[in-house]
Amino acid sequence: MKKTVSFIMTVFVGGLLSITNSAVAQKKVTCPECHGSKKSVEQCSECRKGAVYCTTCNYTGKIRTRCSSCNGSGYTSRTVKKTCPDCNGQRFFRKDSPVKCSDCGGSGKVSLGRTVGGHAYNCRRCGGSGQVNNYINVACRTCGASGYSGTETIREKCNNCDNGYVVTQCSKCNGTGAYMCTRCKGYEYISVDCRRCRGEGVIYVYSE
């Protein structure tokens, strides 16, 4: 099929001919519709100005598909270790385990001077208690000093989509929402056989 159609072209095929039979006279004349070109131009019925609207994307050029990562929910969940609630993840407790004061030997009293039976004063180091602070780290029993106890499921917004849907460019129309008509190849008009002369270029008329 020709891509461009010149319907202005007026080819005069055959001119006027006369066929005479026994009864009626028939004249063969150039088709007045196509002027003998045998073709006429019609607007393509399968498109709009050479373009076909893409129904795959509903003319938007975009395809919205359900996100496979979150199955369309918009959220993903993952299981993580839960921080031990007892030690708050610190693994150890600092605990005071007092020991005997080395200055007073645990008595809490010291005597001044060498005289036996002299006045005894409270030991300065332990303040008379006989014991001094001794901080030690005690492993958390709940978590076995790991800092974690059990697991918990965290729900997070899916970062692969927008509220459960992924928008991609329509591959059928390359994101334009329409594509070129294959019938008229985007020309909007197509060349068809002239309807009046059925593509013959001539018609027969009865002459008296």
| Contact positions vs Zn ion (CB under 5 A) | 31, 33-34, 44, 46-47, 54, 56-57, 67, 69-70, 84, 86-87, 101, 103-104, 123, 125-126, 140, 142-143, 158, 160-161, 170, 172-173, 181, 183-184, 194, 196-197
Return the number of the residue (5 or 104) whose C-beta is nearest Zn ion.
Answer: 104
Shortest reach from residue 19's CB to Zn ion, in Å = 18
The CB-of-6 to Zn ion minimum distance in angstroms stands at 15
* Shortest reach from residue 140's CB to Zn ion, in Å: 3
Residue entry with tokens 């005597």: 111
Length of the chain: 208
CB of 22 to Zn ion, least distance (A): 28
DSSP secondary structure string for all residues of 33-100: TTTTSSEEEEE-TTSBTTEEE-TTTTTSSEEEEE-TTTTTSSEEEEEEEEEPTTTTT--EEEEE--EE
* Residue with Cβ nearer Zn ion (26 or 129): 129
Nearest to Zn ion of 20, 169 (CB atom): 169
Across the chain, how many H-helices and E-strands are there? 0, 17
4 or 22: CB nearest Zn ion: 4
Q: Which CB sits closer to Zn ion, 9 or 20?
A: 9
Beta pairing, strands 109-111 & 148-157: unpaired
In the complex, the smallest distance separating the C-beta of residue 114 from Zn ion, rounded to whole angstroms, is 19
Residues 72 and 150: their CA atoms lie apart, in Å, by 29
Per the rule left: phi > 0, alpha: psi between -120 and 50, beta: everything else, 118 is beta
Distance of alpha carbon 45 from the chain centroid: 36
Question: 């839960």: which residue's tokens?
Answer: 82
Nearer to Zn ion, 118 or 156 (CB): 156
104-111 CB contacts, 8 Å cutoff, 24+ apart: 104/130, 106/130, 106/131
Nearest-approach distance from CB 23 to Zn ion, in angstroms: 27
